[in-house]
Amino acid sequence: MPYKPRMQHLFQMIIRRRNPEAAEGLFFEATMLAEAGEEADARLAFRHSALLDHRFGGARYNYAALTEKLLGPGTETIAAWEEFVRCAINDSRQRRELIAKVQTHIDDLKKQVAAK
């Protein structure tokens, strides 16, 4: 079933109103979409989840991972990973080792893009 954003969520995103409960629910919906192979829809749902709660590093991580999977190395992928790192630094649920690993991955992606 394709992802269809709800009007109430879109409105909250537009006015930048934080809604952690909706963000978490949307995160689980996105996870189910990804597991069902609907990766483009899952990517959009993870993005919307992140917009509903700017402190939710997990949604940004999955968004970045799917961006890289679907688009490959590039500026959009690098930006998605950098956004995760900026958020994860302030998200106590994110491990410091993971953040360091992702930062190394970003550096590698930048080298790949520069080599093209």
Express each pLDDT in 74-99 by its tens digit. Answer: 999 999 999 999 999 988 878 899 99
**CATH number for the domain including 96?**
1.25.40.10
Other residues' Cβ atoms within 10 Å of the Cβ of residue 52: 25
Residue 1 lies in a domain: no
pTM of this prediction? 0.84
Residue 14 lies in a domain: yes
Residue 2 lies in a domain: no
**pLDDT tier, 13 (very low <50, low <70, confident <90, very high otherwise):** low
Q: Residues 39-77: pLDDT tens digits?
A: 999 999 999 899 888 888 999 999 999 999 999 999 999
| C-alpha span between 50 and 20 (Å, rounded) | 9
- pLDDT of amino acid 18: 74
Residue 99 lies in a domain: yes
The answer, yes or no, to whether residue 112 has pLDDT greater than 60, is yes
Number of domains into which the chain is organized = 1
Residue 98 lies in a domain: yes
Residue 28: give the domain boundaries.
7-115
Residue 45 lies in a domain: yes
